[in-house]
Structure 1
Amino acid sequence: MAGSRKLGRASDHRKAMLRGMVTFLLKTGKIETTVTRAKEVRAMAEKMITLGKTNTLHSKRQVMAYITEEAVTKKLFDEIAPKYADKNGGYTRIIKIGPRRGDAAEMAIIELI
């Protein structure tokens, strides 16, 4: 696991939530969530993109074990990873957008650069 934040969830729920959020981020390119979740998603998304850059059978199997949709895995290897071939990290950006109405949790947008 990339980070060490517990996010108020049991470990299996937390892992499933992060897998879903990383999949959706790679699918759409941008998601809105809380700042702490965005920081955790950033760590795992950057690991997936780094694995996508190697494009070996082993890395494909590692990515498929984490990403929940096969189409997103194909998109990662065919479109996303080649775009970052010359970059060494820093594939995502977190933009703070202020407190959420209701519980005042600090919100952020995480997007692929």
Structure 2
Amino acid sequence: MPTPTKGPRLGGGPAHERLMLANLAQSLFEHRRITTTVTKAKRLRPFAERLVTFAKRGDLASRRRVLGVIHDKTVVHELFTEIAPAVSQRDGGYTRITKIGPRKGDNAPMAVIELVLEPVSPKQATVAEAENATRRAGASAAPAAAAEAPAEDSTVEDAAAETTTEAPAEAGTTEATVTAEGDAEKA
């Protein structure tokens, strides 16, 4: 379990907080999405994701550990048989918190916490890795890119020079060679 926060707990003592988080997690797994306050949603996220990680393991010890937290066997069965296989390709981030407007009665900030059951797209993962690499490289990537650009131009010129040396061997291809050189210069 995540390390409990210091200071005031949700709704009172630590035992009440544990029971409240267990009930919220049970409702989340049962309904796939719930509406609660932002504070409770933020506290529920690591708790629920840890239970999903246990469910992904799928062994008996993990099932018993989850049953120690969630006492409804049907919800635990659903977690192990439906939710865990749906998120088996994910390395984390099984939940999504979306803030909505304040509650009408007491103006408390509300949020929807839901399970992310969509399959992971390999393209999105590659794009995210590329963006992270670009951020890490920072300003050093710009001078390197500028240094590579003239090198590409010289390879085009070398290719054009090779076509001109091969072209005089055949008399009918000189016009094609001139056109190829013109295209290479335009590029």
Fold in common (TM above 0.5) = yes
Residue number in structure 2 paired with 1:24: 27
Tell which has more relative contact order, 1 or 2 (C-alpha 8 A, sep 6+).
1
Is it true that 1:79 corresponds to 2:79 in the alignment?
A: no
User: Pairwise mapping of residues 1-113 of structure 1 onto structure 2 (< 5 A)?
Assistant: 1-2=1-2, 3-4=4-5, 6-113=9-116
For residues 22-60 of structure 1, the C-alpha deviation after alignment (integer angstroms, 9 at most, x for no partner) is 001001101100001001111111001000000111111
- The 2-side partners of 1:8 and 1:19 are apart by 14
The CA RMSD measured in Å over matched residues stands at 1.2
Given the two structures, how large is their TM-score scaled by the length of structure 2? 0.58
Query: How many pairs does the alignment contain?
Result: 113
> Could you tell me whether the CA contact under 8 Å between 1:52 and 1:77 is conserved in 2?
yes
Distance apart, 1:8 and its partner CA: 3.8
Give the whole-Å Cα distance in 2 for the aligned partners of 1:61 and 1:99. Answer: 38
1:20 and 1:68 in contact (8 A); partners too: no
> For 1:51-93, what per-residue CA distance to the aligned partner results, in whole angstroms no more than 9, with x for missing partners?
0000111111111101121000000110000111110110111
Distance (whole Å) between structure 2 residues aligned to residue 81 and residue 8 of structure 1: 30
Residues of 2 paired with 1:4 and 1:36: CA distance? 12
Is the contact made by 1:97 and 1:107 (CA closer than 8 Å) also made in structure 2? yes
Identity %: 44
Which has a greater percent of helix? 2
One-letter amino acid of the counterpart of residue 66, structure 1: V
**C-alpha distance in 2 between matches for 1:4 and 1:27:** 26
Give 3-state SS (helix, strand or coil) of 1:107's partner. strand
Structure-1-length-normalised TM-score? 0.94
More strand by share: 1
Matched to 2:13, the amino acid is A
